[in-house]
Structure formats: C-alpha cells, structure tokens
Structure 1
C-alpha cells in the first residue's frame, strides 16, 4: 500500500544565478532528494496531446519546464490537484504512488524529467483501476 498523498508533492526551488548576459540554473546533488539515474525530456508535444497517464511504484521524478509551459494533473487516489509549470528554476517533485498526466503544452515547451531510477516497465502503473488497487483505496 502506498501512503503518499497530494500533500507529499513539492515544488523545488532550483538555484538561479542572474546575470545581464542571461540566467543560469543548476541542479546538483543537494538540490533534489534523490540520486539521478535517468534524464529525459519531452518536446514538440502538440497542444491537444497529453503525456504521462501513469504512476510509479518506486521511482521518484522531478519535472521542470525548461521552456514554455504545461499543466500537470496529479492524483493520490482521493485528492486531485493541477499545477502549471512555466519557470525553469522551479521543479515539481513527484513521489512514488502519485498518478500524473501532463497536458496543455504551449508551443515550444520542453519538459525535463529527472528520475531516481533507470527505466523499468514493472515500476509503471498505466491503468487507473490498478493504481487504485495499488493505493488500497477501492
């Protein structure tokens, strides 16, 4: 049974160094609460499409809107929230056992995902009914 709830989701401040030549943000080992084992990014997502539609049993993820914006809909099986990501110095930390869907991508948006583990298809829950069973919230 997964005890994570909507309240365990956090927005992480990514350090920003401001300069007249442009800003720089840095993600280091102390910025996020897990060791990064996989990095990927979503781009060229049509504004009418959505990504995600799953939860993880063990993996943690940090989502960052490097460019543009997109909406992240989250559910713990009881409560739902929606968070708009649109700043490259803010990251959305999603713990295990949280359902996520990404939609409403703006033109040119890029979503960076930092993961606590390598890809493992057995860690994914793609069916919401199975997710509810995993959460033991029938």
Structure 2
C-alpha cells in the first residue's frame, strides 16, 4: 500500500492486490491498510440504464473509494484545478475520491456493479449538489 494515499487531497487510482489460485481470484479490502480511511458506509450502484449519469456532487468531508467489481463505467472528476476522466474496468482497480472531487459516473456497462466505500455515515449536509456552490467552496 502506498502510504501517500493516506495524505493526498487529490483523487488517485491504485491497484488492489489480487490473490487466488486455480479455484479463482480473491481481493481483500481492509480499513487503514489498503483503504486509506476507516470504512463507515458501503453501498453499490447497479442496474443503471445506458446513457444515465449518476453522482453530480462533491462532499465537505467524506472520502470514498470506487471499485467496479463487475463490468465497467467511467468517472468524470473535477476539483476546480483539473478535470479528468477515469475508467473503472477491473475489480482490482480502485479510485480514491477526495471530498473536493465533483464526480459524475457514466457509460455504465449493463453488468456494472460499482462498489463505494465511504469514510463517513450518510449526512445530507455533507453533500454539495450544486456545481456553483461547489465552485464557491473549493475555488481558491
């Protein structure tokens, strides 16, 4: 595990070690080991129809890790200093989202299951759902 993942304030991609043998593959996710925070909430997105975009928000404090455990999707990231697109297409590829990442997920394959690990419990006030408000909060 790259210990710098614990200190970053910009999104990054990292690989989760794959274990296994002739019986199949296995990956392990552990708080504060290969995930750079204590995991307080887990959810997954699936059954997203073609052409639908999801997300459209940032956070005040929640960090997240996104992993496409089946299928694939793309993620648009914007932290006011850079915009980039990331494709999640492997259960061993993980994307860390920092609170200052406005994110939108799209181009879901029909079989996509996007696992999300969050550093905080759900709190509506942690979400920034208006892009202009996001720019106010994170533009310097």
Same fold (TM over 0.5): yes
- Write the distance in 2 (CA, Å) between the matches of 1:110 and 1:32: 19
Aligned to 1:35: 38
Structure 2 gap segments, 5+ residues each: 1-8
Structure 1 gap segments, 5+ residues each: 1-6
Q: 1:12–1:32: 8 Å Cα contact kept in structure 2? A: no
**CA root-mean-square deviation:** 1.4
SS of match in other structure, 1:28? coil
Deviations 1:74-129 (A, max 9, x none): 00113200000001011100111110000000011000000000000000000100
Q: 2:76–2:84: 8 Å Cα contact kept in structure 1? A: yes
Which residues of 2 match residues 1-138 of structure 1 at below 5 A?
8-29=10-31, 30-137=33-140
- Write the distance in 2 (CA, Å) between the matches of 1:8 and 1:78: 10
- Write the distance in 1 (CA, Å) between the matches of 2:113 and 2:139: 34
Aligned to 1:3: none
Structure 1 residue runs of 4+, over 6 Å off?
none
Aligned to 2:4: none
